[in-house]
Structure 1
Amino acid sequence: MSQLGASSWPAEWSDPSRERAEKPRQQGLTMVIDKGLGLHAFEDVLNVSAAYMDVYKLAFGTSVLYPTSLLQRKIALARMHRVQIMPGGTFFEVAYMSDAVESYIATIKSLGFTAIEISDGSLPVNKQRRWQAIGLAKAAGLVVYTEFGKKTAGFTADLSSLLQTLEEDLAAGADYVIVEARESGNVGIFQANGEPDRAFLRDAHIAAGANGSRLIWEAPRKEQQVALLETLGLHVNLGNIATGDVLSVETLRRGLRGDTAPWMFEERGKATCESR
């Protein structure tokens, strides 16, 4: 398996930020979205990018459309490369509406999934039942990612609601809370044109305190990823990253791309001067 430190390049070249940690990481997570890659394409992605991916999501309800044998092979490959893998949150919501949450959790566990997304972005989920589902998933040994926000066009994130969801879901046993932006990146903290609300990001980061590292911000577009890294730092957790963009995001995190290298070196220079 590829490892972050297994490089023939000098460390100061491969990671100018000097901050990137190897897996398993607790922060600086990259969550990848897969809308239907075939097995060979998936294997190629893992061979190139596994060291830089932490969580892999089979988007929406696509998991049920795979032939079972192919699905299990994808899951096995992810596990072999130490990448968490889970179905999309919409699939959980469908199971909830069918009153089959326990069966759903048991099924994805038996297939080999290592994580679950619990959300209410498209369909209504009772809050008490949401917390119960979190507990059941944790008891089954799954890593639990919940989601805050709606997929409805025009949805804007509210700070107090986000902080309440974060506190309640973590108390119920969730590991991380994802902030909805859709795969198009036009809801939540983003305007219809994709522009982020940086003031909201700063306020949320301050108000969340230590729990801020448990938030994952969906940011499918490069300019959104840059804005989050600039505003919240190189250790911010990013979600809904396309399979072909994993290396691109990693270069942004490390200061190996023009969008982040100038300010990263500027900030590092300031820190050096202040320490003298």
Structure 2
Amino acid sequence: MRTAVSDNWHQLLKDPSGIRGRDRRLQLGKTMVIDKGLGLHSLTDFLQVSSSYVDMLKLAFGTSVLYDSELLRQKLRMASEHGIVTLPGGTLLEAAIKQNVTREFLDTVQHFGFTGIEISDGTIDLNRIRRTSLIKECVRRGFIVTTEYGKKAEGSVIDPEELAFTAHCDWEAGAELVTVEARESGLNVGLFDEKGQCKEAVLESVLKRVEHAGKLMWEAPLKSQQVELLRQFGPTVHLGNIAPGDALALEAMRRGLRSDTFHLGRHVYEIDYMI
């Protein structure tokens, strides 16, 4: 006699890795999605499908200022109700620094209800003293702070020693994560070459020098890059600049539910005679 079938999938199918539930509780393996202009209907669909597997939503570059004010508030409110940290793009803060309106920018970001800040110098030059001061000010205001290392110009490279020093200082100042720049293209910037492939020697050098590499977030917009970093680090790696439509697929890869990362799943073999 057959037993009743539950609405719940078997746990070994939901999470073949056997650790993803624990990872989520420990805030390991964070996913940051980049929003380049989702409307309310698209955002609703995204949240319905993927909100359980997304930690941060970044409104890309300077797009935050282009929204109708009430639409922006509604988007931020919807994401926050799902426990997702919302950030304006780091480039917008860089613009505020260039225009000498940093305090006004932070006041407005708080007013609208953003819960996080990304501090970067991908386009401008920001000295160490000013960078540390900004991190501390944003922490004081109650923001969850992430910082970014690397320039956005095509052909920009990672200096492992500089990254290690920058990350150490940023964490000491109160940043939760340091993101390694790759832009939304993932091509010929930072860790990736002009074909979007990972520079293995650079990655190896970074891991030798950065004391807490588990607190780095890697921008990895391309599937091949996500697969490579999951193979290198496992499901606990923090990944950023993920397209909204790719968030669920990334979570499947973290769990070993896609052929590219099938090896991440535990292998339990047993004889199952189906009658």
Task: Mark yes or no: TM-score above 0.5.
Answer: yes
Q: Secondary structure at the residue paired with 1:157?
A: coil
Q: Structure 1 residue 206: deviation in Å?
A: 4.1
Q: Structure 1 residue 204: deviation in Å?
A: 2.3
Q: Give the stretch that moved more between structures: 10-19 or 99-108.
A: 99-108
Give the corresponding residue for 2:273: none
Summarize the Cα distance change of 1:246–1:115 in structure 2 as closer, same or farther, 3 Å threshold.
same
Which residue type is aligned with residue 97 of structure 2?
Answer: Y
Q: Separation in 2 of the partners of 1:12 and 1:207?
A: 37
Give the corresponding residue for 1:131: 132
Give the corresponding residue for 1:104: 105
Identity across the alignment (%): 45
Give the corresponding residue for 2:271: none
Give the corresponding residue for 1:229: 230
Give the corresponding residue for 2:198: 196
Give the corresponding residue for 1:47: 48
Q: Separation in 2 of the partners of 1:171 and 1:97?
A: 25
Count of matched residue positions in the alignment of Structure 1 and Structure 2: 260
Q: Separation in 1 of the partners of 2:80 and 2:255?
A: 25
**For the Cα contact (< 8 Å) 1:46–1:81, is it kept in 2?**
yes
Summarize the Cα distance change of 1:221–1:150 in structure 2 as closer, same or farther, 3 Å threshold.
same
Q: Structure 1 residue 24: deviation in Å?
A: 5.5
**For the Cα contact (< 8 Å) 2:161–2:209, is it kept in 1?**
no
**For the Cα contact (< 8 Å) 1:121–1:148, is it kept in 2?**
yes
Give the corresponding residue for 1:8: 8
Q: Separation in 2 of the partners of 1:8 and 1:269?
A: 21
Q: Separation in 2 of the partners of 1:199 and 1:237?
A: 20
**For the Cα contact (< 8 Å) 1:33–1:243, is it kept in 2?**
yes
Q: Structure 1 residue 118: deviation in Å?
A: 0.5
Q: Secondary structure at the residue paired with 1:224?
A: helix
Give the corresponding residue for 1:238: 239
Deviations 1:185-209 (A, max 9, x none): 0110000110101233233234324
Q: Structure 1 residue 143: deviation in Å?
A: 0.3
Which residue type is aligned with residue 207 of structure 1?
Answer: R
Matches within 5 A, 1:87-166: 87-166=88-167
CA-atom RMSD, angstroms?
A: 1.6
Q: Structure 1 residue 119: deviation in Å?
A: 0.3
Q: Separation in 1 of the partners of 2:99 and 2:213?
A: 33
Q: Separation in 2 of the partners of 1:44 and 1:142?
A: 27
Structure 1 unaligned segments of length 5 or more: list them. 1-6, 271-276
Structure 2 unaligned segments of length 5 or more: list them. 1-6, 269-275
1:207 to 203, 206, 209: 209
Deviations 1:50-96 (A, max 9, x none): 00000100000000000000000000001100000010000000001
Give the corresponding residue for 1:66: 67
Which residue type is aligned with residue 195 of structure 1?
Answer: Q
Give the corresponding residue for 1:178: 179
Which residue type is aligned with residue 27 of structure 1?
Answer: L
